Amino acid sequence: MKRSLTNWRPIVVVAMLGVGALVVLAPVVVIACFGLVLLAWMANSRPAWVVMGLLIWLPFEGWILKFIPGSSALLVVPDVVCLLLAFVLLGRLLLGKIAPAEKSHLRLLLGPPLMLALVGLASWGVNLIPAVDALYWFRVYLRFVPLALVLAGDDVRDIVSAKLPVIASFVIIVQSAIGIAQYVGGEGVARFFWPGQYALGAVASQVDTFATVGTRVVAGTLGHYNAYGMTLVLWVAVLLGVASDRWKVLSSTHQLMVLAAVSSGSILVILSQSRQSVAMLVVLFVVWLIRAGTLSTRFRAAVVAVGAITILYMTTDAAIGIDALISRLSSLGDAWYWTVDVAKNRGYVVTSVASAVLKRAPLIGVGPGSMGSSYGSLLGPVGVSVLGLNQASARFVGDVGWVSVLAQVGVFGVLSLVWLCRRVLQAMSRPGVLSHTILEGTGVLAVLIIGMSASSLLTYKGPSSVLWVLYGLVITSGASAMRGSLLVDNLTEDK
C-alpha cells in the first residue's frame, strides 16, 4: 500500500506543478475554463436565471466591453451560453427527463426556427456559400432560439414571467436616462455611450456606424437608434401587460415604477427618431387601450397625460433638435422621399433585389450569409455578384429584413417567419389567455412585421433576445391556457 502511494507521489507533484504553471502562464485559459464550467452548471440547474441574466446584460454588453482591451472575443459568450442551454435541453430530452406538457410546448416552439434552419442548410448546400459567411448567418439569426425553448418548462417560464416586469423596468429606466443625456448633450455625450466597434454585436471591427446616423444620437448603449427603439417597445409591451392584468394588486411603489418606465420608454422611442419603432408603439398602445378594460383606468389616464405633455413640448422652441425630429417623422408624407431617396436604398431592395431573387432562386434563395459583409470571399458578398446587383445600392439589403431573408433563404425562409407569426396569433387567440400574453404577442408581431420591413431586427442582439423570450412566453402561455380551458370544459361536462 505504501509503495502504491509512493508511486503516485511524482504524478501528483507533476500535476500540481502543471496546474500552477497554467495559472501563472495562462490565467486567461484557467478563467475561461472555470467560466465555462460555471455557465454549464447554471444552464443545467438555473436556466431561468441564465435567461434573465442575458436579458439584463445584452443591452449594455457592447458599451461595457469597449472599456476592456482585447475583449472582442467576449462577444460570443452569449452565443456559448445559448448553446449550453440547447445542449442541456437536448440531454434532458434524450434521457427522457422532459414531461409531456413540456414536450408539447417544445414542438410548438421549435417548428418555425427549425424550418428556418433546415431551409438555410439546404440553401447553403445548393449555393456553396463560404462556410464562415454561412455560419455567421446561422449564428446571427438563430443564436437566441434556445432562450425561447427553455421556457417550455412551466417552472422556468413561471420564474422568468414573474421577474420580467422588474427587468423591463430596470432596462427601460436606465436606457431612458442615457437616452435623455444623449438628447440633451448631443453628439459628444452620444459618442461616450456608443459601443464603438461592438455597436451591432459583430466580432470583427466595423465602420464607424455612428457617423451615418446624423442627428439620430439617441440610442442608449445599443449602438443604433432602430435597435434602441425596438428594444424599448418590446419592454413597454411587457409592462403594459402588467398594468392590464395586475395593476390593482401592485403596491403604490410598483405602480409608480411601471408608470415611470412606460412613460419614459415611450417618450424615448419618439426621441430616438426611429420611425418604425414609433409605428410599433402606436400599434401596441391601440391594442392596449382596447384590451385594458377598467383595471388600469388611472394608469391609462396618466400615460395619455404624459404623452400629451410630450407632444406639446415637442412643438415648442425649447425642444432640442426638434427640427430634425419633426423633419424625419414627417418625411414619410413627402413625395420626394418615396420617389428619390427610397429609390436609391430601400426602394431598390424591394424592387430590384426582390425581383432578381424571385427570378433566379425563388424557393431557397442564393445562400445564407450571401448578402451581408463577407468574411470568406475577397470579392465581397457572393449573392450580390450572383444576382448581378448594383454593389452600392445592394448594401441596403439589410435595411429590409424580409427581402434579406428572401434573398438568402428564399420563399421557404420567409414562410418560416410567417409560420412563427401565425403561431403567435394562435396563442393570443386561445380562450383564457391574459392581457399580458396578448400584449406581449402584439409586441412580437409588431416588431417582426414592421421591424423586418425597415431593418433586420433579428441581427440586433438587444431586440432579438427579448423577442425570442417573449415568443417563448406567449406560445407556452397560450398552450397552458388552452389546456386549462379544456380541463374546465371536461369538468363541466362531468357535472
Whole-model pTM?
0.85
Percent of the chain with pLDDT over 90: 29
| DSSP string for 377-428 | -TTS-HHHHHHT--HHHHGGGGGSHHHHHHHHHHHHHHHHHHHHHHHHHHHH
Does 210 map to a domain?
yes
Measure the CA–CA gap between 242 and 381, rounded to whole angstroms.
45
Does 22 map to a domain?
no
The string over 322-342, giving b where at least 16 C-beta atoms fall within 10 Å of a residue's C-beta and e elsewhere, is eeebeebeeeeeeeeeeeeeb
Q: Which residue has the cell 415568443?
A: 471
Q: Do residues 447 and 280 touch, judged by C-beta distance below 8 A?
A: yes
* Segment among 25-29, 355-359, 478-482 with least mean pLDDT: 25-29
Q: In this predicted structure, what is the pLDDT of residue 188?
A: 84
User: What is the number of alpha carbons within 13 Å of residue 303 lying toward its C-beta?
Assistant: 27
Q: Which residue has the higher pLDDT, 438 or 493?
A: 438
Sign of the CA dihedral with 53 first, then 55, 60, and 66 last:
positive
Give the range of the structural domain holding residue 85, as residue numbers without chain letter: 29-494
Does 287 map to a domain?
yes
Does 24 map to a domain?
no
Nearest to 280 by CA among 334, 225, 229: 229
Residue-wise pLDDT for 177-228, tens only, equals: 999 999 888 888 888 888 876 655 544 434 444 544 555 678 899 988 889 9
Measured between alpha carbons, how far is residue 217 from residues 72, 226, 244, 371 in Å? 24, 11, 33, 27
| DSSP string for 198-260 | GTTS-SS----GGGGSTT----TTSSSHHHHHHHHHHHHHHHHHHHHHHGGGS-HHHHHHHHH
Q: In this predicted structure, what is the pLDDT of residue 174?
A: 96
Phi, psi of 317 (to 5 degrees): -75, -15
Measure the CA–CA gap between 457 and 222, rounded to whole angstroms.
13
Does 425 map to a domain?
yes
Does 21 map to a domain?
no
Whole-number CA gyration radius for the chain: 25
Residue-wise pLDDT for 427-473, tens only, equals: 988 887 888 888 888 889 998 998 888 788 888 899 999 999 999 99
Residue-wise pLDDT for 52-94, tens only, equals: 999 999 999 988 888 887 777 778 889 999 999 999 999 988 8
Residue-wise pLDDT for 322-369, tens only, equals: 555 566 656 655 556 656 656 667 777 777 788 888 888 889 988 898
Q: Do residues 146 and 113 touch, judged by C-beta distance below 8 A?
A: no
Q: Is 468 exposed, middle or buried (0-12, 13-18, 19+ CB in 10 A)?
A: buried
First to last CA, the chain: 74
Measure the CA–CA gap between 422 and 443, rounded to whole angstroms.
14
Residue-wise pLDDT for 137-160, tens only, equals: 999 999 999 999 999 988 999 999
Does 23 map to a domain?
no
Interhelix angle 401-428/435-454, rounded to 10 degrees, is: 170
Three-state SS for 343? helix
Measure the CA–CA gap between 329 and 272, rounded to whole angstroms.
11
Does 186 map to a domain?
yes
C-alpha cell at 237: 409591451
Cβ-Cβ contacts under 8 Å for 199 (sequence gap 6 or more):
62, 206, 209, 210, 223, 224
Nearest to 178 by CA among 192, 167, 164, 198: 192
The total domain count for the chain is 1
Nearest to 198 by CA among 380, 58, 381: 58
Alpha helices in 26-76, H assignment, sequence order: 27-45, 47-65
| DSSP state letter for 75 | G
